[in-house]
Structure 1
């Protein structure tokens, strides 16, 4: 359970809050397990890191005393290196601070209200995607620059038409008469089948909370009021891939539709013949120029992506290669051919796509509103309504950020409290300082520039309060941040004192090699060609080839070309200088015989033996990589030894025992 090694290689990728913020939070006196160089180290940190290692390997149970002592030793070494990195001011370098700024937001995100709401929306959307819904609607739009009275008139009209539907009226016929949706003249208000994330949030929420046949109360969206009736719901069929042939209707010819209908009928009859090529028919007759040369092939699509008539026909096809009868759409007459189908993809594969859709404007604004509502409740938001209204009266007529700046520089205002968050006051001065020269775009038609700025300012103050709360109060977050912060410092120190030094210090490598030459010796070796027989029935093929051969550098290649290439599963061959001692085959061989056969590990091995080379030192150039690795380990050991002398370690035995017990509960 070597968490130290994991930290040394991985945690350099992440960052956290500054050392001074975290130190006081993590190492109070009651939690102290030791001091290193006179500074306290937290017992909770030790328990956290070892426990994390246990969670990553569920097969590991409680810690033995020996394992605990080993982990404690690694923890001490880890903290020694972090302390040394701090003494070298590595936590103040531009590189460290850049990483800190880069990753701080990512590390904070999982602990924020916004993240949990986004996660909930992603899960809800995928749950809804298990089903497709068919609905019809009637839209009642607001007139331009609508007043409250105008809005009320539109609402009353929506309620009146709803009552007509409830009294037996047909929503599709009423859509042609009343709907302000331009497409209603063609589709009679029938939206076809759709699923989650294909309609605006309010519309989707209404539909997915209704039963089949149910008629909604007026539903307000940015388009106006909708009366909705759910016509059908069914399991999501996933995606479909079709090719198609299109015959257009000439709108200028009075007989255009009859001509198109007759032509597509003749084509459909021709397609039924076994000798007919779909690709050739499409190429010769389809009037869809974008797909004609590709056999009419269209991209994969899901429910809600195409016009309803086309889509319903495509999803009604069940067998690959099945061809539909002609179907009419606003573009003309189509004949469809099913190419492939696939089910709804897994949550894991869809998660990022769903998340990106949820974070688009309308849904993002909805989540932001929910976040603010929760934050206001949690952090005791109190608005001074009279001061807010006074400020709004002064600023609401402004249409540019520069107007706000001019107002700030004028003597026509006085500082006053706008609201409090967790008892802290935020004033007019704070708000005007927040407004920059960059213009803001209101989130909706009803929002003024002042509303946009004031909402943004309030959100900023609430977000900072929440982040401060998480930083100061969330123990798990504190531990995680401190872990990553120390991991970066550890990596920086190791890179500087061990890894890069081990690679770049060629004189040090040579010196280490010469001082430890006894570790880099070859035992007696022999030059040999070895063939392992995997198919004993073909052993004679290899034997006949090798038995009269002398060992040469080209022998293996000759064997592979003439024998092994024709019998790849029958043999494995190798050639080179091999150490004799402890070799499963060579240790049993008679090295005085040029050719011989040895049984080992259940297989016959055919050997061609060359010269025996006595043991001796390995050449530095041959094993430089191994020397560098060993030299780095030497540098690491030397660094730890130096740090243990530099920073006295005092361990509280009672706290140590408490940590051991806690890790085994």
Structure 2
């Protein structure tokens, strides 16, 4: 499944407790033609078949073994959720959500991505996959100079750009500094900062023309001008070495604001103090990370980041991370656009085997520009599969008109009564001359510089697009797995739209409804016994005595925390962390252990000193609406959802085929 699939359209899948978000599914076998297809249920006369329920139920789950099957209760729960799901889809269709332009655009976008694994194009040649993998075993370092074409470039413009590229290559080969040439002449904006250096990269990280040229060079060699969609490149290979594979690192981040000297100075001082703290033998990385890292997504898990390979992260971070050699080794502070990082090496692993990487390589090649290299093979296979046949006489007539006068070709074709003539046909559809002329107008075909046959390039593109649509039509009509997947996504988009309109946004915007729901359910929103408190967790033990002296004899006041911060944290931001609030006593990890009769006390928590200043006790009671609004809205959304389901159950006639349901029971429920 494509990486860009937005998770908001998959929220409904969590309703089915036995379902998985994996795109893999157990494909339901079709019944033999002799057997009459039986529905599982009908909603207002619309038949819904067992295959759809089983398809959703069996995602990444097989029912051959007893320990992988469901309990009767799980099946019944899933079945009821499935009925609710189909009722919501039915309601979305009834109110016309499937007719909206936004839905059509969204669904078309998903279809384009969903269909890719089923296309002939996905069956790439083994040699292309193996070549990519072989290159992945090596990383290369290169610099380049990019020369782009001016807007609406003529043939003369293109020749001029090529001549400039050849001159720069000659200058470099005669001793001119390549990176200085890139700084002065390259149209790649980053060249002003890096002199055209691209760092290390491997296969499938550059467009294929660039990759092919770079991998064919020897170290120090400069390429001839390489044409890509970006323009002409001159490439210099600087190094090549075995691929180090992937590493996993953890980091501590101190953020800074670029362009703000004060923020930069504070961040630099803080990261220096953290680095010094990490050098102490008694220092624990996880504790320091949890206390001081400003990466909220990783600080509570020791700062661990996903596996990275060369070319997958920003260069400054990559250089420092891959420069670590020993497991557990810690880098000095590293500056990136995000702030300052201290990086620790956690694990290394070599590049995976071809068998493991084959699906990933295939997916990336399909998204890569190199896919055009196999398009001619795809077209040939499509022509054979769909019995493609051309009307050569009509093609020759249209060719003569288009090549002679493209601007007025439509009028001349209409005058010659050629519009309705057949250009070509397959066993599924056909295309006329009028279809081709419409394609020319809407697609605005742009031929490569130097092309002298506008008809040939346009016609070839028209055939390619038409055959691709023929293949898509064939899949939508005849491939059961693809049909099921397409319906799943269609229904998912409709379901999200309905819930967003009738439940989520309604609950967020209906302030009167929120207040009324809160008043009707006040007993659900209760504070337990609370206490006002300031909790100080020492980070640097050397400050413990000073902080103790400062707090001894003090009582809880609203300005005490500010005074404490101004006294100590301005000089050493790592001295301690502090939390001030009204806390529920019973659930608090520190206050539940504290003696609440003392205004000030000192505790040892995980061998760390903690000071607690106790203020006023607050007895249990109702939460005010503003104190629990988020939970009220969440509960109100759940209430509206249940209300809608109950209404749909009343509005639509649902009939269940118990015989078919029993067949599913026998298949998926444990004995």
Taking structure 1 as the reference length, the TM-score comes to: 0.58
Cα distance, 1:621 vs structure 2: 2.1
Q: Distance in 1 between matches of 2:520 and 2:407?
A: 73
User: 207, 220, 239: which one pairs with 1:314?
Assistant: 220
| Structure 1 stretch displaced more, 568-577 or 87-96 | 568-577
CA RMSD of aligned residues (A): 5.0
Bigger Rg, which one: 1
* 1:239 alignment counterpart: 141
Q: Is the 8 A contact 1:525 1:577 kept in 2?
A: yes
Question: Which 5+ residue runs of structure 1 have no aligned equivalent?
Answer: 12-27, 131-234, 243-262, 265-280, 317-336
> In the alignment, which residue of structure 2 is the partner of 1:86?
93
The equivalent residue for 1:358 is 370
Shift of 1:405: 3.1
SS of residue paired to 2:555: coil
CA 1:574–1:469: 2 relative to 1, 3 Å: same
Aligned partners of 1:535 and 1:571 also within 8 Å:
yes
Within a 5 Å distance, the mapping from 1:141-180 to structure 2 comes to: none
Question: Which structure 2 residues correspond to residues 567-586 of structure 1 after superposition, within 5 A?
Answer: 572-586=577-591
Tell whether 2:64 aligns with 1:52: no
Aligned to 2:493: 488
| Corresponding position of 1:405 | 410
1:81-134 alpha-carbon deviations (Å, 9 max, x no partner)? 1111111111112322232344433333332223444x868635524646xxxx
| 1:647 Cα deviation after fit | 2.1
Taking the TM superposition and a 5 Å limit, the aligned residue runs for 1:11-22 are: none
Q: Which shifted more, 648-657 or 492-501?
A: 648-657
- 2:529 matched to 1:524? yes
Distance 1:596 1:445, change over 3 A: closer
Determine the C-alpha separation between the residues in 2 that align with 1:655 and 1:44. 11
Find the partner of 1:622 among 612, 624, 627. Answer: 627
Q: Compared with structure 1, are the counterparts of its residues 456 and 71 closer, same or farther at alpha carbon in structure 2 (3 Å cutoff)?
A: same
**Aligned partner (choices 117, 120, 123) of residue 129 of structure 2:** 123
CA contact (8 A) 2:75 2:669 kept: no
CA distance in 2, matches of 1:555, 1:512: 39
Report deviation, 1:432.
6.9
**Are residues 542 and 31 of structure 1, via their aligned partners in 2, closer, same or farther at CA, if it must alter by over 3 Å?**
farther
Q: 8 Å contact 2:219–2:240 — kept in the other structure?
A: no
Equivalent in the alignment of 2:272: none
- The equivalent of 2:290 in structure 1 is none
The CA deviation at 1:502 is 0.6
Alpha-carbon shift at residue 500 of structure 1 (Å) = 0.9
CA distance in structure 1 between the aligned counterparts of 2:493 and 2:521, rounded to whole angstroms: 33
2:615 pairs with 1:591 = no
Q: Is 2:408 the partner of 1:391? A: no
Equivalents in 2 of 1:424, 1:572: separation in Å? 71
Aligned to 1:495, what secondary structure does the other structure show? helix
Q: Is residue 239–residue 303 contact of structure 1 (8 Å, CA) maintained in 2?
A: no
1:575: Cα distance to partner?
2.3
1: CA distance between counterparts of 2:193 and 2:422?
Answer: 69
Residues 296 and 580 of structure 1: CA distance in aligned 2, closer, same or farther (over 3 Å):
closer
Q: Does 1:635 align with 2:537?
A: no
Matches within 5 A, 1:212-227: none
Give the match for residue 379 of structure 1. 386
- Give, in whole Å, the separation in 1 of the partners of 2:194 and 2:507: 62
Please give the alpha-carbon distance, in whole angstroms, between the structure 1 residues aligned to 2:534 and 2:588: 14
Native 8 Å contact 1:595 1:608 kept in 2: yes
Aligned residue in 1 for 2:426: 421
Separation in 1, partners of 2:192, 2:454: 51
Q: How does 1:249-288 map to 2 (within 5 A)?
A: none
Given the superposition, is the C-alpha separation of residues 236 and 659 from structure 1 closer, same or farther in structure 2, using an over 3 Å criterion? same
Aligned pair count reads 469
Is the Cα contact below 8 Å between 2:219 and 2:239 reproduced in 1?
no
The match for 1:69 is 76
Query: Which residue of 652, 658, 662 corresponds with 1:653?
Result: 658
| TM-score between both structures, scaled by the size of structure 2 | 0.57
Question: In the alignment, is the contact (CA less than 8 A) between 2:110 and 2:489 conserved in 1?
Answer: no
- Conservation of the 8 A alpha-carbon contact between 1:122 and 1:355: no
Residues 306 and 377 of structure 1, relative CA distance in 2, 3 Å threshold: closer
Q: Which residue of 2 aligns with 1:195?
A: none
Per-residue deviation at 1:513? 1.0
Comparing 298-307 with 604-613, greater Cα deviation is found at 298-307
Alignment of 1:441-590 (within 5 A): 448-452=453-457, 454-532=459-537, 540-562=545-567, 572-590=577-595
Query: Structure 1's 414 and 92: CA in aligned 2 closer, same or farther, altered over 3 A?
Result: closer
Could you tell me which runs of 5 or more consecutive residues in structure 2 were left unpaired when the two chains were aligned.
1-6, 15-34, 145-173, 186-190, 200-209, 223-235, 244-309, 312-356
